[in-house]
Amino acid sequence: MRIVFVVHTFFPNWNAGTEVYARSLARKVVENGHEALIVCYEPPAPHDAFEGIRVFDTVYEGLPVHRISFHKRHQWSHLADYYDPNMEELLFRYFSTAKPDVVHVVHAMHLTTASIWAAKRLRLPVVATATDFWSICPTFQLVRWDESLCGGPNALACLACTGQDVAGHGRAGWLGTNCRALFWRRNYRFGGCAGRSRAVAGEPALALAPAPLDEGGALAGRRAGFANLEHAAPAGQDRIETRRDARV
């Protein structure tokens, strides 16, 4: 079986929890006699100015890595952070060439949920892991500025949280972040979820959460568009399976 893992960034330059999780999954797949491929966004190096998209292939610890690099220039168009039709076409071509049996989206940030839709166009089983609340929370964690738990998008709560970063990100960054918060809150509150869920969650056949889900976490997952969110085992490996019978 050939499995493509899509992740927002990857080693060696990026090595936080989600990258470690993706690497662990890929290693376990290989250990069990299958083939693992990594697709990730590669942030441009400082002062490396270029137009368009750079695509290149590397190998990290024996894992083939397909890296996609570009500058983000849509400062005020935050919908592009969630779905990019150009990226869908690029990933559609990559999946068509790689011919995976399963696409596992470990994190959709940067490459956007275009990875899910590109795979669905090819009728490939899609698994998505919700390692955080990127799709509905401007700070990704659903934790309020005072460190209390948040139940989901709320215009005033989002403004209070993101407003704490004014000094660190400047007025333009603060306004942009809050516009995103208000946009998504309006979207969910006034019935836009059905229309926008295509851009946000992409409706994968199976959605996994690495941590146990309480009632609040499951509700937040549904608000993010993951209607079928399930808790995976700590390492997640026992849930890697072909879901050809699942809705794609």
The structure's pTM equals: 0.75
Which residues, 6+ apart, have CB-to-CB distance to 177 below 8 Å?
Answer: 138, 162, 165, 169
Q: How does pLDDT run across 165-212, given as a tens digit for each residue?
A: 544 444 444 445 555 545 544 443 333 333 334 444 556 766 666 655
Please name each of the domains of the chain with its CATH number.
2-135+201-239 (3.40.50.2000), 139-195 (no CATH)
Q: Per-residue confidence at 130, pLDDT binned at 50, 70, 90?
A: confident
Is pLDDT above 60 for 241? no
